[in-house]
Amino acid sequence: MRRLSTIPRDPVPDATRDYFRDGAEFISRRAERLGSDIFETRLWLQPVICLRGPEALALFYGGTGLRRLGPGPRRLLRLPDHGGRISQTEGPAHQARKALFIRLLMAPGRTAALAELFRSEWAAALPGWERQERLILGDALTPLLARVGWRWCGLEPDEAGESQLSALARASGRGRQAPLLRYRLVRRLCRHLYAARTGRFRPQPDSPLAQMLAADQGGPLRQSADDLVDIICAVTAVSDYIIAAALTLVREPVWCALFRAGNAGLIEDFVEEVRRITPLAPVVAARSVTPLPFSGHVIPSHRTVLLDLRSPLLDAGCFPEPTRFRPERMLSWRQAEPGFVPQGGGEVALTHRCPGEAATVALMAEAVAGLCHDLHWTVPPQDLRPCAGPGPAVPRSRLILSGIRRAGGRDGTLPEPGGSGCTQPPAETAARRAEPLATE
């Protein structure tokens, strides 16, 4: 086995500026340049090991010797924290809490209930959207999904709490206010949990709130409050996926026509392909607790390790013509597809793979159906370049819609998105529509 000194090193003294400039492509670009799936660089003047490829996936999802980063380092690297506190636990504690999350998120009927709540909130929001000259879709979705997640967890209506949740979702992974916002929200949820425990409020028996109280058996409320925040923040994070799906409808207008014609069975294939080309967390991070062998090298202990979760999703060996948007691949979270790891890999019950993929797909499918059947809309000139940094590749404008009018539901028609209001001249517009979202 080769010594650590043989790990290729990035010649840049500190790559922090490049890390935020290149975003999700930071690891893959340097790996190609250095000709290796492992290399060492420096971020914020600290040594970091970067990995990609199938062996790296197996190490992160199923291997031992890695501990997920806590909230402090994650904020420093501006990594999305959609996994919440459960993603930072290991061993028996992680498996026990993960089993509870699987029951909460994957039980029969729970996903359908979440989709029904989203459909109800979407319908209630349409009149207000129609009155706006320009709607920033991302800003509109965050409070909507916060209300959906709040109600779905079985919590009492609380406008102030939902507003705190929306503020936390907007600040997640960005800035210094997220820890304080989370602390305040956890304290508020502890009061809700105490009211339910003492009988002042009776949640639905199958709700996450009721099941968490039963699982904690009278113990401290802080753990359950943290878990509820994690679940609802994960629901609000789906707004990034919905933005990506809406932008894909702009670039691939043929799918609007297919969905309007009644091909509802194709919507799940569409959203799964969107998840492939737009992973919610393109980079995941951990810290080595022991020396780890990797591809003929040794990763030293106590070293920050970053995994490129985007490269397997664009691997030609797993996905022919990987940069093309092709829902006919018929991908699904239900099947163990090689390289299809938009929300983590491995067995859900045993690894850090997200247990909320079914809920994510259901929410995305409802949003795509709503965009195609419930609304007329166009895309005005705006900055569609991906956001800087390692987060999801959503446009910097958060996708502005204009000319919003309600359509006739499932029988309505949708004008071609991005028509006369698109930012590019006609020739460039056609070229950009032919590009997949991942290559923006």
DSSP class per residue in 3-41: -GGGS-B-SSS--HHHHHHHGGGHHHHHHHHHTSSEEEE
Total tally of structural domains belonging to the chain: 1
Name the β-bridge partners of 116: none
Q: Are 72 and 290 in contact (CB under 8 A)?
A: no
pLDDT of the residue at 92: 63
CB 284, CB 60: distance < 8 Å: yes
CA–CA dist 332, 237 (Å, integer): 20
pLDDT tens for 60-112 read 887 778 887 754 455 556 565 554 455 555 566 666 677 778 877 887 788 99
Query: On the CB side of 382, how many CA atoms lie within 13 Å of its CA?
Result: 22
CB under 8 Å to 29, separation ≥6 — which residues?
A: 22
**Measured in whole angstroms, how far is the alpha carbon of residue 20 from the centre of its chain?**
18
pLDDT at residue 267 in the model: 96
Q: What is the CATH number of the domain that holds 383?
A: 1.10.630.10
Locate the DSSP E strands across 195-336. Answer: 283-288, 292-294, 297-299, 304-308
Nearest-angstrom CA–CA distance, 339 and 234: 22
Q: Alpha-carbon distance 268 to 279, whole Å?
A: 16
- Rounded distance between C-alpha atoms, residue 187 and residue 193, angstroms: 10
Per-residue confidence (pLDDT) for residue 426, from 0 to 100: 33
Contact 57, 27 (CB under 8 A): no
Positive or negative, the CA dihedral 243, 281, 102, 222 is negative
The residue ranges of the chain whose pLDDT is under 70 are 1-5, 70-96, 172-176, 349-350, 388-392, 409-440
The boundaries of the domain holding residue 361 are 4-439
What backbone phi and psi angles, to 5 degrees, belong to 17? -60, -40
pLDDT recorded at residue 420: 30
